[in-house]
Every structure is written in C-alpha cells, then in structure tokens.
Amino acid sequence: MAFFQTPPELGNTFDDDRMLRSYLARKLPGDARAPIERELREAGAISGGPLYRRSLVEGRDEPKLVPWDAWGHRVDRIELSPLWREAQKIAAERGVVGAAYERKFGEWSRVLQFSLVYVLEPSWHVYSCPLAMTDGAARTLVASGNAALVERALPRLTSRDPEKAWTSGQWMTERTGGSDVAISETIARPDGDKFRLYGTKWFSSATTSQMALTLARPEGNPPGGSGLALFYLEVADNNVFVNRLKDKLGTRMVPTAELTLDGTLAVPVMGLRDGIKHISPMLTTTRTWNAVCAAAGMHRALTLAADYAKKRVQFGSALAEKPLHVDTLGWCVAETWGAFLLAYRAVELIGKEEARTLTEEDASLLRLLVPIAKLTTGKQGVAVASEALEAFGGAGYIEDTGLPRMLRDAQVLPIWEGTTNVLSLDVLRVLARGGSLEPLAREIARCAASTKDASLRGAMETATRALEHAGQWILAHAGDKSTVEQGARRFALTLGRATELALLCEHAQWALDHEKDARFAAAARTLARTVIDQIQDVPFEDARALLD
C-alpha cells in the first residue's frame, strides 16, 4: 500500500505556453517583443508559482458579508479573501488594467494588457471579474467625453499604486432581468444638479469597488431602453445597502451581491436618455475579457491534464502513452488554440481602435467579432474544463485538488455579460444594422491566402465552406424572422468556429515557415474534424413538441 500519486504541477505559465509565445513572436514588432515578454515572464512566474499554490490552499476562503458592527450600526462590510487582497495588489502594480491606457506599446498595448490577464487569471480565483468591469468603466467614461468624470475616475481606475487604485462595478441586472435590461425598475429623482437612485440591483459582482456605472430611469422618462440613463456613482457612504451575497455554483471568491439603492447620489454620464447605448463600450470590453479568460481557463485545465497524463500510470503505462487519452487531450488543445486566436483577434482590433489605426473594414469586423468570440469561447470553456476534469478521473471531482473549481468557474462564462442566445441575437442585430458577413468573409479569405501548405488545405476549405453556408442560409431566410431567430445560435457558432479554424490555419502556416513547428497544423486539422458548420433547418414544431 505504498503508492501515492504525484499531483500535476505548473511551471512558468508564460514560458510553458506554446500558443501565446508563438503568437507574440508572429505579431509583435521587434522593439516591443522583448519588453512585453519580460513582463509576461514575470507574471508567469507568479501565476505558476506562489499564486497557484495559494489558490490551492485558500480555495475555500470565501468572502463574508458583515452587515452590522458590534454596536448595531449597519455597515454592510464585505471581507475579501486574502488571495483576492493579494490579487488587488498584483493587478495594480502589474498594470493589468493600466497597461492598456498607458499605451507604451501603441496599438500593441492591448495585447500586453490582455496577455497579463491571460497569464494571471487562472491563478487568482476570478479576480478578472472586477478588473474587467474596471477596464469597461474606464473605456465607457473616455468614450462619453464627460471631462469631469474622466478627470476624477480615470487616474484611479488605471493606477499602478495599489493604495490609490479603484475598481468599478457594472450594475445592470435587476430582478426583472439581465438580458432585457430595458424593463429595469430603478428610478432616478433629481436632487440639485445630481440624482438620487432608488431600486434593487440583483447581481453586483464588484461590490467592494469604489464606484459603479449603472442604469436608472429618470422620473418622467418613457418606458423601454431609450428612457434609461447611464449614471456614475461612488459607493462609500452613499445609501448602498447589501442585502446578501449570492450563494453561487462557481466564482465563489467573487463577492456577488444583491443591493438596494435607497437615495444613492449619482451623476448622469451622458445625458438623460439612451443609457443602454451609452454603456456599450463597457460590454465590448467585458465580453472581450470573457473570451480571453475562457481561453486562459481552457489552457490551464489542459496544462494540468497534460502534465498529469505523463505521471499517471494505468494498465502498464502513462496515460500520455494511451492513444485514446492522447486523442481526447488533442481535441482540448485544438479547441483551446482556436479560442485563443479568436479572442486575441478582437484584442488586436481594440488595440488598433484605441491607437486610432483601425480601418473602417476592421471596425466592422470588430463589431461582429466581439459577440461571436464571447459566445463561442464561453461554450468551449465549459466543454474543455469538463473534459479536463474527466482526464483526472476521480481526482478531478475532489475539491482539495483544486480541479473542480475550474469547471464551476467556467460555467459562468456563457452566462454573464450576455448568454449564448442573447449574444447570437446580438450578431443578428449587427447584421440588421447595416452590417454584413463581408468582414468575416474578408478575414477568412485573408487567412486562406496565406495558408499554402498542402496539409492545411482541407482544414482551410472547411472554414471557407462553413462561412459560405452560413451566408447562404441567412440570405435564403432573409424574410423569415422566426426561422432566422430560431437558428441564430447555430449560425453564430458556425461563424465563430469557422473564424477560429481559419485563424488557426493562418497561424499554423506561419509556425511551419518560421518555427518549423508542425503542432499548430495538427491542431488546425483536429479542429477541422469537429463540427464547424452547425447550420441546420430544424422544424420549429419539433422543438415545440418536445417542450409541450
């Protein structure tokens, strides 16, 4: 009875990341590469070392709500986990939000910033959540042109000083709904040149933040989305009451709360109408974070599973020698690298937009890519986390291995910041507002033009054909709103998976040419063997019948 299984281990999470390093080598201009890699290597040492070890030990150290002090005063204090307090410090000092706004590397600043997110995220218990909203709030304030608010909040939201740095909440969801926020019930009553807000916010994930952006309906405004305004508020001593913390499946270190606003002083960010429209930079940002974090989580789950496969011996040899196990993990790699490239394509374009080097064509591509990347990678994140857990057998189901958390945390990716269905409908809305599939067709054609190797031809054709099929389908049903709506998820996932495959072929060609590395080509072929084209006409009566 002397056997003890060696657990999986992590190294430097930057150095060990084949995809990220190859991508940076391909994309970054010469003078930016060394300093960016240096920062990521430092972050990778923290993430794969002390932070990862703490995340295993402190996995049950959840936030606590202290509603009253010893003398009966209502305090609504939330005590964060020690790991989260450490994450706050690391995030500020390393510029995990700030690097994007410092623009030290021009249009590549976003690649640096999101790579910091990607390297650190799986080791700090979803601290990305408040950071994503902080980044989103900063971008929204900048886009609003509200100089007073920019002057007050931006230096704090982007600060590298942990003592000065702020985070921001995004309070949109109410009991009425998170998808259909147009029916929100919070009202705003004028109070001098400010407003006082009254209502309940049903999900607030960054409750310990210093500020929030939120939606409320100024009294007298009409119902519906256009009658909502976007407000800025600071949380301390401002009639914000924490009703309770949510008891969640995952993201358990994130203090998600239900709040009552009872006369909370707030300032309109941009007029007194069209709040949903004005908060859209926030959503573009948080959805991109979601996609990058999905790829990061997949990569972490896979890295641990691959390491374990070398150590775990069953039926006479390591799992890494078993053809079926290798086949299973190979699929995980292909999904992960596809997700990475799709998420990073959105990141690149956001970087260009902020550096004002974005072309009109790129801008229309970005509008489509963000919802597509969020919804596609969210689904992949859950599937790969689930498969990776299974790759550990029973150990994958046991809490103190730290493994089950990966699946629970992944399950939020397709839900918050817009569910898969809601984002699929968003893709249709982009098309209806004068968009077309042309930007994606150009993107896939660009990838096809650079993919020359015969071993990649079939995979590239699969991507091209899937996009063409999606285009034919949407055209054929142009006048049939309900058929298009019913098929929107299959349509959007086809666009996402086809784009991933094309980007993977493009990268594979580059890696063959410049790194003599055939692994990305193998990944592209593997991805091409999965279901890329999901377009189908499913009779509505069939679905209906199943629910009756």
Ligand X SMILES: Cc1cc2nc3c(=O)[nH]c(=O)nc-3n(C[C@H](O)[C@H](O)[C@H](O)COP(=O)(O)OP(=O)(O)OC[C@H]3O[C@@H](n4cnc5c(N)ncnc54)[C@H](O)[C@@H]3O)c2cc1C
C-beta of 84: minimal distance to ligand X in Å? 15
Does 47 engage in binding with ligand X (CB under 6 A)? no
Contacts of 182 (CB under 8 A, 6+ apart): 223, 224, 225, 228, 276
With respect to ligand X, which residue has the nearer C-beta, 54 or 287?
287
Write each residue from 92 to 131 as x if it is in contact with ligand X (CB under 6 A), else as -, in one continuous string. ----------------------------------------
C-beta of 267: minimal distance to ligand X in Å? 19
With respect to ligand X, which residue has the nearer C-beta, 268 or 418?
418
Positions in 172-191 near ligand X (CB under 6 A): 172-173, 177-179
Positions in 381-420 near ligand X (CB under 6 A): 412, 415-416, 418-419
C-beta of 170: minimal distance to ligand X in Å? 5
Select the span of 170-178, 233-241, 304-312, 466-474 touching ligand X (CB under 6 A): 170-178
With respect to ligand X, which residue has the nearer C-beta, 254 or 511?
254
Contacts of 473 (CB under 8 A, 6+ apart): 487, 491, 535
Among 75, 182, 355, 422, binds ligand X (CB under 6 A): 422
Does 483 engage in binding with ligand X (CB under 6 A)? no
Write each residue from 424 to 463 as x if it is in contact with ligand X (CB under 6 A), else as -, in one continuous string. -x--------------------------------------
With respect to ligand X, which residue has the nearer C-beta, 257 or 302?
257
Distance CA 268, CA 218 (A): 10
Distance CA 422, CA 484 (A): 14
C-beta of 278: minimal distance to ligand X in Å? 15
Residue holding tokens 């974090």? Answer: 293
Residue type, position 216, single letter: A
Quote the tokens at residue 141. Answer: 């304030």
With respect to ligand X, which residue has the nearer C-beta, 362 or 409?
409
The site for ligand X, by CB under 6 A, has a size of 21
Residue type, position 478, single letter: A
Residue type, position 195, single letter: F
With respect to ligand X, which residue has the nearer C-beta, 215 or 467?
215
Quote the tokens at residue 177. Answer: 């709904």
Are 167 and 206 contacting, i.e. CB atoms less than 8 angstroms apart?
A: yes
Among 88, 128, 146, 170, binds ligand X (CB under 6 A): 170
Nearest CA to 212 out of 188, 238, 194 is that of 238
Are 417 and 285 contacting, i.e. CB atoms less than 8 angstroms apart?
A: no
Does 282 engage in binding with ligand X (CB under 6 A)? no
With respect to ligand X, which residue has the nearer C-beta, 143 or 181?
181
Positions in 246-275 near ligand X (CB under 6 A): 248, 251, 256
Please state, in angstroms and as integers, the Cα–Cα distance from residue 93 to each residue in 37, 98, 132, 162, following that order. Answer: 17, 9, 16, 7
Select the span of 164-172, 189-197, 327-335, 336-344 touching ligand X (CB under 6 A): 164-172
C-beta of 480: minimal distance to ligand X in Å? 16
- Number of helices and strands (H, E) in the chain? 20, 11
Please give the residue whose beta carbon sits closest to ligand X in the complex: 178
Q: In 274-394, which ranges are continuous DSSP H helix?
A: 275-278, 280-311, 323-354, 360-390
Per the rule left: phi > 0, alpha: psi between -120 and 50, beta: everything else, 146 is: beta
Does 328 engage in binding with ligand X (CB under 6 A)? no
Q: How far is CA 394 from the centre of its chain?
A: 29
Residue holding tokens 């994450």? Answer: 87
Please state, in angstroms and as integers, the Cα–Cα distance from residue 288 to each residue in 280, 355, 372, 374, 378, following that order. Answer: 12, 17, 10, 7, 11
Where along the sequence are the contacts to ligand X (CB under 6 A)? Answer: 170-173, 177-179, 203-205, 248, 251, 256, 412, 415-416, 418-419, 421-422, 425
